[in-house]
Amino acid sequence: MIVYLAKKSEFIDDVFSNEIEDKILAAFKNRMHKSVGISEINSWKNSMGYMHRILVDETIPKDAGVAIEFNIPQTSKRIDFILTGADIDHKKTAVIIELKQWAEAKTTDKDAVVSTFIGKGERETMHPSYQAWSYASLLEDFNAAVRDEPILLKPCAYLHNCVSDSTINSPFYKEHTTKAPAFLKLDAVKLKNFIKQHIRFGDSGEIMYRIRDGKISPSKNLADKLLSLLQGNKEFLMIDDQKLVYETALQLAQKSTNDKKHVLIVEGGPGTGKSVVAVNLLVELTAKEQVVQYVTKNAAPRAVYESKLTGALKKSRISNLFTGSGSYTESEPNSFDSLIIDEAHRLNEKSGMFNNLGENQIKEIISTARFSVFFIDENQRVTLKDIGDKAEINKWARACGANVQEMTLQSQFRCNGSDGYLAWVDNVLNIRETANSTLEGVDYPFVVCDSPEELRDKIIAENKLSNKARMVAGYCWDWVSRNNPTGMDITIPTGNFSAKWNLANDGNLWILKPESVSEVGCIHTCQGLELDYIGVIFGPDLIVRDGFLQTHADKRSKMDASIKGYKKLLKENPQEAKKKAADIIKNTYRTLMTRGQKGCFIYSVDPETNQYFKRSAFGPDLDATSSEPETSQQLLKIIEDPKDGEYVDFVPVYSYEIAAGQYGKTDPVEAIGWVAKPKGIKIDNRHFVAKVVGKSMQPRIKDGEYCLFRHGVLGSREGKIILAQLHEVSDPETGGKYTVKKYTSTKKLNADHEWEHDKIQLLPINPDYSPIEINPARIDENWIIAEFIAVM
């Protein structure tokens, strides 16, 4: 996603007129559906002023493309500034510029890490050259257009407030400044020359369109790349906070001794790369000849890892690398150099099958190793026995005389890199209140199915691509097939759905077996692992009544060990028992809903709860008893005469035909009626409201909703939703000559080396509908009537 895209000449005008930060903010709100703080707005204003002074040079082509805040696919990371065009050999080129406000920085003894003042204090962060290079590398890894066309990426950093060169361009960081040169305050001419070296011809932003629309490569799966990692190959590029945690852990592991033990607690939500950093640490510390193990409470990841490594490594070596959290009850103190504990939130107090061994797993791990690193997400504790939290780790670290350091992972790589989706999940499950009350603007496929059969069919269809789609459910059904192979465990009487739990044939390896796609997994067999698509069945343990979410531990299967001891605790302390059980149930579904890298489908056996998820995901205009949206005609009050409020407080309502007839004319056209303008939007005589019919733009625009449009399109049309008048074709959904769709186009160089349209498409948002192909040679000047602004 590109927040701001323009030609260099347009960017220069926007900065000169002091509008640049306002335009970036407006575009950010429109595309990201959220705002930013005043500090980021000020950083845009300041940094763009410096970039204006660089780009005002007339030898940098006026039609070079300028992209600001480009979201790297499948991540939550954004590139500050990209300039596109062609070099002297007419090779497509994109100069990637990481912009920093820093006035100074200090060296550290960690690779690619510097120290500078950020926020309210000084802290360690990534060297900007490493950051620029890593973003370029991510883009090249994920984007087929960059690799195949090819598009040359030239990363650099610009610290326009920094004067001293002793840190940023220190010989210690030469490996990174060689890959991505760093320019400081006095290096404006050098940066200008760097740009001119790579951008000799303009492209009007065409290269950014190619990058934006380029086919996205599948995300790497840790289990698939495990053997390659252990063989010393660099499969995963660690960026920003991941690299910082990795380098800090390496440093602590190197300096820890029997008398000076260290504990590192790394907190991170789903998809932040906890397991990737953990396995990379295992590889690197092993290469440094440390005695080290990777520890997980969950058996499922260990079983999958062992399966992937079987045949390539001896079983004894696999066992020496990967082990369970109960392995240290009789270990000698400091018998390991380092222990890496993944999914540390799942640690238990006692060990063994009957929970009767040892004193405390956290204490035993810290005692056994000179250095231990705990990767934790407290909102993934899913049983009453889980004791893994930061306070408990700190307590035992102090008892063992260890120094403790805490860090956080925030970079998002799962759920299509969508922080918004994860925040919405926390909000909808009442885990924590967030600003993401709906999924509007969230780029992550999420579907609330109307039946369990629909969910199953979607998962089976997605699984045909790469065997990475599975169904999971809350543990609300007994495992009857364990003793009766012909029996079905999960039967939902409202539909024709029955399925088995997954453990009978494949155990913890079910996630790898293609035939298990028709089975259902649970939290115990998927936590710590990831898929492309996940289908989650909500049982009666989590329901919604009158808009309020309720949890019912008594609806869990009596065979579920997650809540073993609940009835006893309920008698002793009912309030504590209910709170703990509620947290477990909500955390369970949170964990299940975040296993999918590319998409999530859900279905609740409770109809009111299913509707709750629909309304929460797609807005409050879904009626509680129907999956069909309520038309906004029922919500809008249309009046005939706004008196003196025309184009101030009221906006006219037109049909498409009237809107098209008015386009380009100065004489007023009679409106069907008038409606109050939306709050926070300034209107003029270019604005109008029209009713959109059809489902091709759902969930952004629902069938029958009235929408605000503005005649003409300001700036580039690329990626915007527009109202168009068709000539040679009709809208395949409605059969009409008018359509509301998302505009996209590609361009090519003609014989005169000028850019012209090669292909124009009008795209639906709903994947059930096909794009409309437009012949560039057969369109007139006014075929695009207006730009979509908002749903009324």
Statement: residue 414 has pLDDT above 60: no
For the residues 53-57, what does the mean pLDDT come to?
95
Given 3-state DSSP classes, what are the helix, strand and coil percentages for the chain, each rounded to the nearest 5?
35, 25, 40
Label residue 536 by pLDDT band (50, 70, 90): very high
> Domain spans of the chain?
2-213, 222-409, 418-618, 643-791
**Per-residue pLDDT tens digits for 198-211:** 999 999 888 988 88
| CB contact set of 551 (below 8 Å; sequence gap of 6+) | 541, 542, 581, 582, 585, 586
- What's the predicted TM-score (pTM) here? 0.71
| CB contact set of 562 (below 8 Å; sequence gap of 6+) | 382, 383, 384, 475, 523, 524, 556, 584, 588
| DSSP state letter for 286 | H
pLDDT of residue 221: 67
Statement: residue 754 has pLDDT above 80: no
Mean pLDDT over each residue of the chain, to the nearest integer = 86
**Per-residue pLDDT tens digits for 131-149:** 999 999 988 887 888 888 8
Query: Which position has the token pair 């003196």?
Result: 644
Statement: residue 89 has pLDDT above 90: yes
Angle of the 38-55 helix axis to the 8-16 helix axis, nearest 10 = 120
CA 470 to CA 518: how far, in whole Å? Answer: 8
**Per-residue pLDDT tens digits for 636-692:** 677 777 777 788 888 888 887 766 665 444 444 567 788 888 766 778 888 888 888
| DSSP state letter for 402 | -
Report the candidate in 701, 714, 695 with the shortest Cα–Cα distance to residue 787: 714
From the CB of residue 11, how many other CB atoms can be counted at a distance below 10 Å?
Answer: 26
CB 317 within 8 A of CB 323: no
Would you state the torsion angle of the CA atoms of residues 346, 352, 356, 361, taken in this order, to the nearest 10 degrees?
A: -40
**Per-residue pLDDT tens digits for 592-644:** 999 988 889 999 999 999 999 998 888 754 433 333 333 334 456 777 777 77
CA 390 to CA 266: how far, in whole Å? Answer: 9
Label residue 396 by pLDDT band (50, 70, 90): very high
Query: Which position has the token pair 């975040």?
Result: 594
From the CB of residue 540, how many other CB atoms can be counted at a distance below 10 Å?
Answer: 16
Q: Helix and strand tally (H, E) in the chain?
A: 23, 33
Q: Which residues pair with 342 in a beta bridge?
A: 296
CA 309 to CA 230: how far, in whole Å? Answer: 10
pLDDT of residue 417: 57
Share above pLDDT 70 across residues of the chain, in percent, rounded to a whole number = 91
Report the candidate in 791, 693, 785 with the shortest Cα–Cα distance to residue 734: 693
pLDDT of residue 628: 35
Share above pLDDT 90 across residues of the chain, in percent, rounded to a whole number = 47
CA 565 to CA 558: how far, in whole Å? Answer: 11
| DSSP state letter for 435 | S
pLDDT of residue 631: 38
CATH 2.10.109.10 given to domain 643-791: yes
Tokens representing residue 179 in the block: 């890959």
What is the secondary structure of 505-536 as a DSSP string?
Answer: HHGGGGGG-GGGGGSEE-HHHHTT--EEEEEE
CA 324 to CA 319: how far, in whole Å? Answer: 10
Thinking of the domain 418-618, which architecture would CATH place it in?
3-Layer(aba) Sandwich (3.40)
Q: Which residues pair with 531 in a beta bridge?
A: 596
What is the secondary structure of 464-507 as a DSSP string?
Answer: HHHS-EEEEE-S-S--GGGT-TT--SEEETTTTEEE-BTHHHHG
Label residue 476 by pLDDT band (50, 70, 90): very high
| DSSP state letter for 380 | G
Same fold, 222-409 and 418-618: yes
Statement: residue 418 has pLDDT above 70: no
For the residues 33-57, what does the mean pLDDT come to?
89
Phi, psi of 26 (to 5 degrees): -60, -45
CA 669 to CA 208: how far, in whole Å? Answer: 39
CATH 3.40.50.300 given to domain 222-409: yes
What is the secondary structure of 585-634 as a DSSP string?
Answer: HHHHHHHHHT-EEEEEEEEESSHHHHHHHHHHHH-TTB-TT-SSBPPGGG
